Amino acid sequence: MLGAQLAAGPAASGLALSPPEVQQLSRAPTSGAVKGLPRFDPYIMETYLDDLRDLKRQVYDLFKFRPELLPVVEEGMSKEEHRSLVRAQLRALLEAGVNPLTYFDRDYKKYFYLAECLSLVDLSLMVKSGVQFSLWGGSVLNLGTEQHRRKYFDDIGAFRLPGCFAMTELAHGSNVRRGWFG
């Protein structure tokens, strides 16, 4: 099945493999009466399935070359130290030209792919990004007027106007800090 998809051509998969090359990659030679199992190059599968791998590489390289943004021991950090680190991580991401709010506004697939990448760097970074760009920025984008969008979009996207998330349930008295129905 993967071979048929790859054989559909460069436009469909981003690869320039001819059908004979695909067959050669997807089939192992058989010996005697035992049929060989299908075989493929995992790089080809990643290339076919992961069309945003350049974004992943950009994010991971950013943190690989900025070790001060990845503490060796996170457990020993105070809450304020960790929050400060996450803000620094988010600013570094923006300085590298990765703008989650622009992705949220124009390309949901790229936005959620970025969230997945950030979660592998630091879950708190993914949450901070989600609150800033989905909950806060998304509220302005989706619920605000055109005037609100013009006034706030750039500052929210550049993290010059940080946002927050407040959860309340009228007449329920939920206590999010203690957990459900606290």
For residue 24, name the pLDDT band (cuts at 50, 70, 90).
low
Q: pLDDT value at position 28?
A: 47
What single string gives the DSSP state of each residue in 118-181?
Answer: HHHH-HHHHHHHIIIIIIIHHHHHHHS-HHHHHHHHHHHHTTSS--------TTT--BTTTBTT
- In this model, does residue 32 exceed pLDDT 70? no
More confident call, 32 vs 51: 51
- In this model, does residue 65 exceed pLDDT 50? yes
Q: pLDDT value at position 129?
A: 97
What are the structural domain ranges in the chain? 2-28+37-49, 53-157
The set of residues, in sequence order, having a beta carbon less than 8 Å from that of 99 and lying 6+ positions away, is 157, 158
* Residue range 71-106, pLDDT digits in tens: 877 678 899 999 999 999 999 999 999 999 999 999
* Residue range 99-149, pLDDT digits in tens: 999 999 999 999 999 999 999 999 999 999 999 999 999 999 999 999 999
Q: pLDDT value at position 50?
A: 86
The set of residues, in sequence order, having a beta carbon less than 8 Å from that of 38 and lying 6+ positions away, is 26, 27, 28
* Residue range 162-175, pLDDT digits in tens: 998 776 666 666 66
For residue 9, name the pLDDT band (cuts at 50, 70, 90).
very low
Measured distance CA(182)–CA(167) in Å, rounded: 13
- In this model, does residue 150 exceed pLDDT 60? yes
